[in-house]
Amino acid sequence: MASNSSMPSMPSMPSMHNSSATKGFVDTDNTEQPIGGRAPLVLNMHRFGEVTHQVCRVAESKPPLAWYVAFVICLGMLGFLGICVNYLIFTGVGVWGLNNPVMWAYDITNFVFWVGIGHAGTLISAILFLFRQKWRTGINRFAEAMTIFAVICAGLFPGIHVGRVWLAYWLFPLPNSMEMWPQFRSPLLWDVFAVSTYFTVSLVFWYIGMVPDLATLRDRAKGKFQQFAYGLAAIGWRGSMRHWHRYEVAYLLLASLATPLVLSVHSVVSFDFAVSQVPGWHTTIFPPYFVAGAIFSGFAMVVSLAVPARELFGLKDLITLRHLDNMNKIILLTGCMVGYAYSMEFFIAWYSGAMYEKFAFVNRAFGQYWWAYWIMVSCNVITPQLFWFKKVRTSIPLMFILSIFVNVGMWFERFVIIVTSLANDFLPTSWDQFVPTWVDIGTMVGAFGLFGVLFLLFCRYLPMIAIAEVKAVMPEADPHGHGAHAHHGGPHDSHAGHGVPSGAMPALRDPRSSEGQP
């Protein structure tokens, strides 16, 4: 029996431009909005089986050589992270470059950086879901995976920076022999609750979303071990419509719960700074500014990951140029918000008339860390403005470079906020400079290794794209418009159609006409 479907030859690899109708018509550009219709979100595929196959074969076949190379590199970085963390734990936080005024530096910079990265996944899966943005289906699965791995990286840093790591459980309100409790008025404790809730809820959301696709992998699995492992992970999902009914309600509920949650998490992270009285930290703009920055950096990371992933695993028909174009628009928008926040901070510092506040901001831009500040402004405010041009938004190499710039810029944003404010505080006699040690740098680099290892394993073994959700947004999924071989002209035909270059085109290669197999 044909368990893995009636798969004809796969669509040939897309050529870079839209050649006019020759025999092998391959569509690569769906960024134009067809008049009176919707641009297709899935290119060159009209059958559900094709989508299944395209996604599942990544998990079912040997990965390309580049995967092994990347995995070995990331594994090496992860090993180095292990060395750095162990050295830190066995020696003490003195191995970092921290000093008396600068008691937070790379550790909290990395924490905030990774938590920020983690925001795009939930934004895509929850907020875009509530706004009925169907294009999210192509990218939500691995953006959510990215969220979870980023939050794992983030959680590492507060865990190890407390000094006595073996007492980290004091963060939680557990009964203990000292009869002491955490101090719930402290933003640092809010952070513990916010980040751990965020991690748990993201994990649940990700897993629940993945169950139907794990069932697909289970049903296609050939090996005994794969059948067992995917079977266990799919917890007996059978695609029952009665189950789907509750599942869809649950998904909507989870999205509605995750939406305020994602906005709260980075707000709470910003309270770590805003609630204190350090000049440069004590500002009310921090919560929205941090959230915008988090979304900004998160989307940049999604683009940085999606571009190589779609090339490497041949997913260009599912993660289309339109998806990337849309993400670049969000990067542009949030980049402008971040730029606005930077200038508003300066304005308020001047307008407040507070001496220390004014000094803190002038010192940021022209003090000992001026270079970090201007890297931040260049990467976060200036270069993303190139995304106003569609040519840039749809150019794969340019968007990749710009997204890397954003990642760099956002790392420096956190560094600037944290280190410049601490290094030059109220009393000039206590000023100092922070110089990172090799352990600081090794831990930072190693965290990327941890992230990379987790992400590469995810790409290799789990459904990278939400198969069921993608199928549901194909025009063929509409039970009224396309159903019983009534092809064109149904009332829902404009749903997400084939229309881009010419409405008649798909009829030439209508795969249903060749669907003869049982």
Partner 1 sequence: MSALTAPKVDAPSTTATTAPFGLMAEFRTPAEIMDAAKRVHAAGYRYWDCHVPFPVHGLDKAMGVRRTILPLLVFGAGATGAMVGFCLQAFTNAASFSIWALVWVTGYPFLISGKPLMSVPAWIPVIFELTILLSALSTAGLMLLMNNLPRLSHPLLANNRFRRASDDRFFVVIEARDPKFLRSKTEAFMKSLGASHVEVVEDC
By CB under 8 A, the residues from 146 to 175 that bind partner 1 are: 173, 175
Cα separation of 37 and 481, whole Å? 14
Q: Which amino acid is at 159?
A: G
Query: Rounded to an integer, what distance in angstroms lies between the CA atom of residue 410 and that of residue 384?
Result: 12
Using CB under 8 A as the binding rule, the residues of this chain from 258 to 277 that contact partner 1 are 258, 260-261, 264, 268, 271
446 closest CA partner among 106, 202, 166, 64? 106
Instruction: Give the pair of three-digit tokens for residue 279.
Output: 């000049």
CB of 176 to partner 1, least distance (A): 9
Q: Does 515 bind partner 1 (CB under 8 A)?
A: yes
CB of 127 to partner 1, least distance (A): 15
Tell which positions 283-342 bind partner 1, by CB under 8 A.
Answer: none
Q: Which one of 84, 215, 294, 416 is in contact with partner 1 (CB under 8 A)? A: 215
Q: Tell me whether residue 271 or residue 412 sits nearer to partner 1 (CB atom).
A: 271
Task: For partner 1, give the closer residue by CB, 168 or 472.
Answer: 472
| Contact status, residue 415 vs residue 372, Cβ threshold 8 Å | yes
Does the protein bind partner 1 through residue 469 (CB under 8 A)? yes
How many residues sit close enough to partner 1 to count as binding (CB under 8 A)? 80
Residue with tokens 């059978």: 238
**Should residue 428 be labelled a site residue for partner 1 when binding is judged by CB under 8 A?**
no
Helices (H), 378-428: 390-393, 396-415, 421-423
How far apart, in Å, are the Cα atoms of 39 and each of 27, 56, 119, 132, 235? 12, 25, 27, 15, 36
Say whether residue 48 binds partner 1 (CB under 8 A).
yes
Among 24, 76, 163, 236, binds partner 1 (CB under 8 A): 236
User: Of residues 38, 57, 134, 243, which one binds partner 1 by CB under 8 A?
Assistant: 243
By CB under 8 A, tell whether 502 contacts partner 1. Answer: no
Report if residue 245 touches partner 1, rule: CB under 8 A.
Answer: yes
Q: Residue 78 corresponds to which tokens in the numbers above?
A: 């992860």
Binding flag, residue 499, partner 1 (CB under 8 A): no
Binding span for partner 1 by CB under 8 A among 27-35, 376-384, 398-406, 484-492 = 484-492
Out of 10, 95, 103, 257, the residue judged to bind partner 1 by CB under 8 A: 257
Identify the three-state secondary structure at position 438. helix
Q: Which is nearer to partner 1, 490 or 501 (CB)?
A: 490
- Report the chain's C-alpha Rg in angstroms: 25
Closest CA to 439 of 177, 4, 84, 150: 84
Distance between CA 116 and CA 95 in Å, rounded?
Answer: 26
Helix axes 321-352, 286-312, angle to 10 degrees: 160
Q: Which stretch binds partner 1 (CB under 8 A): 32-40, 152-160, 243-251, 417-425?
A: 243-251
Residue in 64, 231, 501, 503 binding partner 1, rule: CB under 8 A: 231
189 interacts with partner 1 by CB under 8 A: yes
Closest separation in Å from C-beta 513 to partner 1: 13
Q: Residue from 49, 293, 409, 497 that binds partner 1 (CB under 8 A)?
A: 49
Find the shortest distance in angstroms from Cβ 463 to partner 1.
11
Cα–Cα distance list, 193 to 186, 328, 475 (Å):
11, 32, 42
Q: Determine which residue in the list 28, 46, 47, 487 makes contact with partner 1, applying CB under 8 A.
A: 47
Q: In the bound complex, what is the minimum distance in angstroms from residue 233's beta carbon to partner 1?
A: 11
- The two tokens of residue 226 are 């794969």
Site for partner 1 in 195-214 (CB under 8 A): 197, 200-201, 204-205, 207-208, 212
Q: Pick from 415, 375, 327, 381: which is nearest to 146 by CA?
A: 327
- How many residues are recorded in the chain? 518
Which residue bears the tokens 């513990």? Answer: 192
Identify the three-state secondary structure at position 289.
helix
Q: In terms of CB distance, is 164 or 246 closer to partner 1?
A: 246
Q: Which of 46, 119, 282, 482 binds partner 1 (CB under 8 A)?
A: 482
Site residues for partner 1, 57-96, by CB under 8 A, read: none
**Residues near 402 by Cβ (< 8 Å), separated by ≥ 6?**
300, 328, 331, 383, 384, 386, 387, 392
